[in-house]
Amino acid sequence: MTDLLISLYPWTKALHIVAVVSWMAGLFYLPRLFVHHVEQAGDVDGLDGVFAMMEYKLLRLIMNPASIATWVFGLMLVFTPGIVDWTLVWPWTKAAAVIAMTWFHHWLAKRRKDFAAGTNVLTGRRYRMMNEVPTLLLIVIVFSVILKF
């Protein structure tokens, strides 16, 4: 099995990066959709349904598969011999940030359900603030992997 992981390493790494980019795009965009949903959906008849459909499709068709692929290919990299040295700090900071990113993804999914049920109570300002979470986590992840501190 380890020989297979070693031989697949370049493909695994490339697919992991593609999955991360796709996931991050959704994590950046969904909170912005929520901002516009809160602030503009009531102004135009039928716009609430349009936002709800966009949010649903972004989460279900792009973000969920991308997050699963990120985890699968990331774990394949973790189990590839010689890639991760768990005696260093960087894998732990990256792992913590990825877990936090996954929590944020699920938090967004819950907010989408709130919109769908008509029970959203958060403001556009709150969604704008939460939109910074994936940026901060991305900084931790990239610096951890590249600088290996």
Give pLDDT tens digits for 44-94.
788 899 999 999 999 999 999 999 999 999 999 999 999 999 999 999 999
Average pLDDT, the chain: 95
Mean pLDDT of 121-128: 96
Q: 67 to each of 30, 38, 64, 74, how far by Cα in Å?
A: 14, 26, 5, 10
pLDDT at 46: 83
pLDDT for residue 1 is more than 80: no
In this prediction, residues 22-50 reach a mean pLDDT of 92
pLDDT band at 144 (very low <50, low <70, confident <90, very high): very high
* Percent of the chain at pLDDT exceeding 90: 91
Instruction: Give the type of residue at 112.
Output: R
pLDDT of residue 2: 81
CB 41 within 8 A of CB 127: no
Q: What is the DSSP string of 2-67?
A: HHHHHHHHHHHHHHHHHHHHHHHHHHHHHHHHHHHHHHHTTTSTTHHHHHHHHHHHIIIIIIHHHH
Distance CA 125, CA 22 (A): 25
- The per-residue pLDDT for 116 is 93
Residue 143 pLDDT level (bands cut at 50, 70, 90): very high
CA 118 to chain centre: 24
Which residue from 103, 82, 80, 98 is spatially nearest to 140, judged by alpha carbons? 98
